[in-house]
Amino acid sequence: MKRKHADRYDWKRILSKQFALTEVDSPEFTGYISLIKFNAVRQPLTVTMDGKRIKLVDTGYCWMQYFPFHEHYSITTVFDEQGEVMQWYVDVCEPVGTDERGIPYFDDLYLDVVLLPSGHIFLLDEDELEEALEWGRITHDQYSTAVKEASRLVQEVKEHPLVRRSKEDFIMMQQLLVP
Burial 39-61 (b: 16+ CB within 10 A, else e): eebeeeeeeeeeeeebebbbeeb
Write out the E strands in 30-144. Answer: 30-41, 45-49, 52-57, 62-68, 73-79, 85-93, 97-98, 104-115, 121-124
Q: Report the mean per-residue pLDDT for the chain.
A: 96
Rounded to an integer, the average pLDDT of 52-80 is 98
- Which residues have a Cβ under 8 Å from the Cβ of 36 and sit 6 or more positions away? 6, 7, 8, 14, 17, 18, 19, 62, 63, 65
Q: Look at residue 138 in the predicted model and tell me its pLDDT.
A: 97
Question: How confident is residue 50, by pLDDT bands cut at 50, 70 and 90?
Answer: confident
Answer yes or no: are the C-beta atoms of 170 and 77 closer than 8 Å. Answer: yes
Rounded to an integer, the average pLDDT of 156-178 is 94
Q: Look at residue 116 in the predicted model and tell me its pLDDT.
A: 96
Rounded to an integer, the average pLDDT of 151-170 is 95
Q: Model-level pTM?
A: 0.95
- Which residues have a Cβ under 8 Å from the Cβ of 82 and sit 6 or more positions away? none
Taking the alpha carbons at both ends of the chain, their separation in whole angstroms is 33
Answer yes or no: are the C-beta atoms of 107 and 3 closer than 8 Å. Answer: yes
Question: How confident is residue 144, by pLDDT bands cut at 50, 70 and 90?
Answer: very high
The yes-or-no verdict on residue 178 having pLDDT over 80 is no
- Residue spans of the domains in the chain: they are 3-174
| Separation of alpha carbons 140 and 147, rounded Å | 11
Question: Could you tell me what percent of the chain has a pLDDT over 70?
Answer: 100
Considering the domain 3-174 in this protein, what is its CATH number? Answer: 2.40.380.10
Question: Could you tell me what percent of the chain has a pLDDT over 90?
Answer: 97
Q: Look at residue 1 in the predicted model and tell me its pLDDT.
A: 84
Q: Look at residue 110 in the predicted model and tell me its pLDDT.
A: 98
The yes-or-no verdict on residue 179 having pLDDT over 80 is no
Q: Give the C-alpha distances (Å, rounded to integers) separating 80 from 50, 55, 56.
A: 18, 8, 8
